[in-house]
């Protein structure tokens, strides 16, 4: 285990509602992003970061209505040839 791992979480508005967050996060921290773009989330050099995203919403419509942030949408295209990270506990083949 790394000593005192540290990372950063960024969020900003996607519309007229003001939100501008850059927060330091550590093991066990939770960040609430009520709206807008969230990310990037990044670990400081030499540390690992596991970012678990949970979506919640009012009943009865709990749909996953996401869009990529136009500033970072390009990165999704770089994932197609990557192997699945074996450290991920929430996936199975």
How many domains would you assign to the chain?
1
Tens digits of pLDDT across the chain (93 residues): 557 888 899 988 866 788 899 999 888 888 888 788 887 788 888 888 777 777 766 667 767 777 788 888 898 888 888 888 777 766 555
Residue 59 confidence (pLDDT): 67
Query: Three-state SS string across 11-58, please?
Result: EECCCCCCCEEEEEEECCCCCCCCCCEEEEEEECCCCCCCCCCCCCCC
Identify whether 15 is part of a domain.
Answer: yes
Q: Which domain holds residue 30?
A: 6-78
Identify whether 88 is part of a domain.
Answer: no
Residue 73 confidence (pLDDT): 86
Identify whether 31 is part of a domain.
Answer: yes
Identify whether 71 is part of a domain.
Answer: yes
Identify whether 91 is part of a domain.
Answer: no
Identify whether 1 is part of a domain.
Answer: no
């Amino acid at each position: 285990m790394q000593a005192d791992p540290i990372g950063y979480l960024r969020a900003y508005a996607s519309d007229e509602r003001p939100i501008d967050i850059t927060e330091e996060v550590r093991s066990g921290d939770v960040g609430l992003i009520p709206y807008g773009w969230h990310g990037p989330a990044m670990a400081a050099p030499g540390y690992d970061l596991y970012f678990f995203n949970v979506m919640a919403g009012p009943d009865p419509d709990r749909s996953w209505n996401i869009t990529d942030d136009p500033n970072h949408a390009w990165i999704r295209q770089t994932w197609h040839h990557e192997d699945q990270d074996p450290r991920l506990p929430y996936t199975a083949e």
